[in-house]
Amino acid sequence: MSKPVVAIVGRPNVGKSTIFNRIVGERVAIVEDKPGVTRDRIYGTGEWLNREFHIIDTGGIDIGDEPIVRQMRHQAELAIDEADVIVFIVDGKEGLTGADEEVAQMLYRSQKPVVLAVNKVDHPEMLERTYDFYSLGLGEVFAISGAHGRGLGDMLDEVHSSVPQDIEDDYDADTIKMSVIGRPNVGKSSLVNTLLGEERVIVSNVPGTTRDAVDTPFTRDDQDYVLIDTAGMRKRGKVYETTEKYSVLRALKAIDRSDVVLVVIDGYEGIIEQDKKIAGYAHEAGRAVIIVVNKWDAVEKDDKTMKRFEKEVRESFQFLNYAPILFLSAKTKQRVQHVLPTVKEVSERHNMRVPTNVLNDLIVDAVTMNPTPTDHRGHRLRIKYATQVAVGPPTFVLFVNEPELLHFSYERFIENQIRETFDFEGTPIRIFARKKN
């Protein structure tokens, strides 16, 4: 199920980032978790009533040196184009301003669901601060206090019920959804063009989903695929599309809808920090991943170059140790023919189920080889049995005496044992412990 996108818009200082941080809480992506970059935290995942959603603080998208009103216009434009629900924050302390009215008109015309929240209503007796805002014509006004957390529940209820019903993809379950991500200029569009131009690839003329008309469905060797568009591939010429933060948003949305993600890096330029961040999103989302080292034609090589580069990739993307690496050239088409067969293979593994008896034999052997850990009280982890509870990614539950006793290192060990027995190359796997007496 793909996550809806919720965008926060509003003037500077109304409290957008305060509210964003409250909603996202501590759930910040591990790969992004660096201290001191709070102003940069504009993407997050929230959860309300058991539904996860992406949340973006558009105030953090720096459109460049422009007057505030123009910046707000671009931010609102982005929210209208990309979000499923827009949360419009105004400032109850300052009252209604002309800029609020202008944004309200844009949002109103867009016909996107808008939830209007008046922030800084810190006490119930300040409720009168909200009255003026009814004149914006956006319906109910939610009184909130980002600082104190008041009213956020009611506001999120409204967000939840405003998510349109038709955001699910309508592709066949057998269709492999794939996307190509990477920083600008690594060769994403070149790779896509080469892939779609390959012999035996039949591109369908039928437009994709109602939601995103830029998807490209195609078929090769009787297998249906859909290529999900990402930033940098088909720009429509809007100002915000040139910002890096925007391309992160497109990548996140594409990853979300994909079964398989191709993470493209530039073999000529090498790996930079931004590559790791982008790859981290794919890993966190639990998608199958293939690392593509592009522009291999431009690299001066000897017999050890590929090995050396592979080592560098493994060191830089340790969390993706399960991902196959393809060295290729979108330009000369060298080895591009391996891409779709690999996509198909990793997609199959992403959806693979293993027999419960083999899994449990494996756990017994693993525990014999490497006894389970104990804690300072001498309590030892006991694994009663294991079962696979989900695919896409394969997810395992270990039923144990005390779930807290399953530490990361032992979990890693179990994961490695599972990977040695079953071929899960290309897909992350997840392991959880549940209590069982």
Q: Give the residues lining the site for ligand GDP (CB under 6 A).
A: 10, 12-18, 59, 119-120, 122, 145-147, 182, 184-190, 232-233, 294-295, 297-298, 329-331
Q: In what order do the strands lie in the sheet with 260-266?
A: 201-203, 216-220, 223-228, 176-181, 260-266, 288-294, 325-327
Please identify, using beta-carbon distances, which residue of 118 and 433 lies nearer to ligand GDP. 118
Q: In what order do the strands lie in the sheet with 395-400?
A: 383-390, 395-400, 430-435
Please identify, using beta-carbon distances, which residue of 81 and 122 lies nearer to ligand GDP. 122
Please identify, using beta-carbon distances, which residue of 184 and 355 lies nearer to ligand GDP. 184
Please identify, using beta-carbon distances, which residue of 189 and 387 lies nearer to ligand GDP. 189
Give the CA angle between residues 147, 150, 151 to the nearest 5°: 130
Q: From the CB of 395, what's the least distance to ligand GDP, in Å?
A: 32
Q: From the CB of 15, what's the least distance to ligand GDP, in Å?
A: 3
Q: From the CB of 53, what's the least distance to ligand GDP, in Å?
A: 19
CB neighbour class for 373 (10 Å; exposed up to 12, middle 13-18, buried from 19): middle
CA-CA distance, 209 to 215, in Å (whole number)?
A: 7
Please identify, using beta-carbon distances, which residue of 66 and 365 lies nearer to ligand GDP. 66
Please identify, using beta-carbon distances, which residue of 3 and 295 lies nearer to ligand GDP. 295
The 8-class DSSP code of residue 229 comes to P
Q: From the CB of 332, what's the least distance to ligand GDP, in Å?
A: 7
First-to-last CA distance in the chain? 33
Q: From the CB of 406, what's the least distance to ligand GDP, in Å?
A: 38
Q: From the CB of 41, what's the least distance to ligand GDP, in Å?
A: 11
Please identify, using beta-carbon distances, which residue of 242 and 395 lies nearer to ligand GDP. 242
Please identify, using beta-carbon distances, which residue of 227 and 398 lies nearer to ligand GDP. 227
As given in the structure block, the two tokens for residue 98 are 């002309």
C-alpha distances (whole Å) from 274 to each of 124, 183, 407, 436 are 45, 7, 30, 42
Q: From the CB of 202, what's the least distance to ligand GDP, in Å?
A: 22
Please identify, using beta-carbon distances, which residue of 197 and 355 lies nearer to ligand GDP. 197
Q: Would you say 384 and 401 are in contact if contact means Cβ atoms under 8 Å apart?
A: yes
The SS3 call for residue 163 is: coil
As given in the structure block, the two tokens for residue 216 are 């490209």
Please identify, using beta-carbon distances, which residue of 17 and 316 lies nearer to ligand GDP. 17
As given in the structure block, the two tokens for residue 83 are 């979000």
CA-CA distance, 90 to 435, in Å (whole number)?
A: 46
As given in the structure block, the two tokens for residue 352 are 């693979």
Please identify, using beta-carbon distances, which residue of 22 and 211 lies nearer to ligand GDP. 22
Q: From the CB of 108, what's the least distance to ligand GDP, in Å?
A: 21
Please identify, using beta-carbon distances, which residue of 234 and 353 lies nearer to ligand GDP. 234
Which residues make beta-bridge pairs with 8? 57, 87
C-alpha distances (whole Å) from 354 to each of 348, 396, 401, 414 are 12, 10, 24, 15
Q: From the CB of 184, what's the least distance to ligand GDP, in Å?
A: 5
Q: From the CB of 275, what's the least distance to ligand GDP, in Å?
A: 12
Q: From the CB of 251, what's the least distance to ligand GDP, in Å?
A: 11
User: Who contacts 105 (Cβ-Cβ below 8 Å, separation ≥6)?
Assistant: none
CB neighbour class for 404 (10 Å; exposed up to 12, middle 13-18, buried from 19): exposed
> Which phi and psi angles does 397 have, rounded to 5°?
-115, 130
Q: From the CB of 166, what's the least distance to ligand GDP, in Å?
A: 29
- How many Cβ atoms are within 10 Å of 217's Cβ, its own excluded? 20
> Which phi and psi angles does 394 have, rounded to 5°?
-55, 130
CA-CA distance, 133 to 120, in Å (whole number)?
A: 14
